[in-house]
Amino acid sequence: MSEISGIHHVTAITGNAQANLDFYTHVLGMRLVKKTVNQDVPDTYHLFYADADGNPGTDLTFFPWADSPPVQDGIGLAMEFSLAIPSASVPYWRARLSDFGVTIEAESVRHSERTLAIRDPFGQPVALVATDDARAFAAWDRSPVPAEHQIRGLQAVRLCERDLALTENFLVNVLGFRAMGVEDGWHRYGVGDGGSGRHLDIREIRDGTRGRWGVGGIHHVAWRVADDAAQLAVRARVEAAHRRPTEVIDRFWFHSVYFLEPGGVLFEVATDGPGFTIDESAESLGETLVLPPWLEPERTKIESELPPLTVAP
């Protein structure tokens, strides 16, 4: 059995921070649980959206890099993230998206689950996937979306690769995933039962061109582990597979290890804790700019370089 229990978070690149905030909180009804900065480039925001409690696996994050070019789709990138919605909520979401002028680009069934494919304001592919799989979720009582229809968390990610066999071998023999079948050219791999938040889909494109990061694309996919010991066990196997993982990096709210899987997609292994309430109360998550302790001495400079961001009450 793998130490990895599913998706921890997905981080994508977006444009204007305010427009991103408005879409994910006002339209999709997610909660901003952490307003902070990119710890490696602290003159830009890092915005975290999740359920009411910021449970691992419900966490979607963005780097607002408005000056970056648009993503160049291609192999070696994560192309789409999907979000879990209750099965009975498809009509609600169909109507809500229409009310906000969001085009449903495709409505399909993936592995027996109804799916609404859309794009966010900066072109990021997003899929709302209907599922009744049990998962940790806390409804946000201030969401514009009623509790019974709220997004339950991350469902899956889709990757495009030149050589499926290389990535499959790494997923199965190093990270502990298992193959779960093929549908419409998408190969599914999962941990545990592979249910909601515990799988990814890969399409092999042998003659594809290499993709490049940019606005409207995914930066990295983070996989969750329970604690530091589990993270170190995974890291050791990744290192033995010559994937050159980073040392453990303290992100304050969790600990991270980064590496490229054989096809070139940036993966992270992140711990479930300490969690987002280590520096904010559960009631006030996301309401003010928070910084990890080592950036606090630079707060005045950092705040002066960030654009205004209005968080609706």
Share of the chain above pLDDT 90, in %: 98
CA distances from 30 to 85, 108, 169 (A): 12, 24, 35
pLDDT of residue 1 exceeding 90:
no
Q: Distance between CA atoms of 230 and 273, rounded to whole angstroms?
A: 12
Residue pLDDT, tens place only, 262-286 = 999 999 999 999 999 999 999 999 9
Q: Distance between CA atoms of 15 and 5, rounded to whole angstroms?
A: 31
Domain boundaries, the chain: 6-305
Element (H, E) at 102: none
3-class DSSP state of 284: helix
Domain 6-305 listed as CATH 3.30.1300.10? no
* Residue at token pair 């599922």: 131
For residue 312, what pLDDT is reported?
72
Task: Considering only the C-alpha atoms of the chain, give the largest distance between any 2 of them, rounded to a whole number of Å.
Answer: 52
Q: Distance between CA atoms of 50 and 187, rounded to whole angstroms?
A: 27
Q: In this structure, what DSSP letter does residue 69 have? A: P
pLDDT of residue 176 exceeding 90:
yes
Does the pTM exceed 0.95?
A: yes
3-class DSSP state of 107: strand
Q: Are the beta carbons of 225 and 271 closer than 8 angstroms?
A: yes
3-class DSSP state of 50: strand
Average pLDDT over residues 134-138: 95
Average pLDDT in the chain? 97
Q: Which residues pair with 113 in a beta bridge?
A: 110
Tokens representing 185? 């050219």
Residue pLDDT, tens place only, 50-67 = 999 999 999 999 999 999
Neighbour-count burial for 9-42, b at 16+ CB within 10 Å, e otherwise:
bbbbbbbebeebbebbbebbbbbbbbbbbebeeb
Order of strands across the sheet that contains 266-274: 31-37, 45-50, 59-64, 6-14, 217-225, 266-274, 254-260, 249-250
Rg (CA), the chain: 18
For residue 313, what pLDDT is reported?
65
